[in-house]
Amino acid sequence: MATAHHNLSEYNKENIPNGADFKIGIVVSEWNDSITFNLLKGAKEALIENGVKEENIIVKLVPGAFELPLGAQWLCQDRMIDGVIAIGVVIQGETRHFDFVCEGATQGIMNVGLKFDKPVAFCVLTDNHIQQSIDRSGGKHGNKGIECAVACMKMIGLKKSL
């Protein structure tokens, strides 16, 4: 396993563009909120640590991971928003529902970024069990919210440099 015994959320601040002029939307699934709100906390902390003003972080909630693409799309329609972070978690159950939700959320989030020509960071955990989600939302593997905030900022910086 690639993440075994590694905290992947550590990063070098020198490689992150200053976010003082960035406006970032975050759309968060309410389903499994003990996980998603930890991811949100990590994302917001990373954004603020890298210069994004708290008033330039717009957080909106959606019911579940399947609704993330539409929520991200609505945020992207705001011309002032430079990028979006889509936060959710889908945990494997006994049926194929997991597959359909994961596929729809993944494809939808990617499509929104391409449609609006804006970074839309994919922060959707797709885990086999709740412990994996805990480990990736502030546990032993770090916080994927941090990683996605960093990715979003890097992509905004790249776009602004072109």
Catalytic residues: 97
Q: Which residues contact 156 (CB under 8 A, 6 or more apart)?
A: 17, 19, 22, 24, 82, 83, 119
Q: Are 64 and 101 in contact (CB under 8 A)?
A: yes
Q: Are the beta carbons of 125 and 90 closer than 8 angstroms?
A: yes
Name the nearest CA neighbour of 83 among 56, 121, 109: 121
Joined together, the tokens standing for residue 84 give 């979006």
Burial (CB count <10 Å: 0-12, 13-18, 19+), residue 92: middle
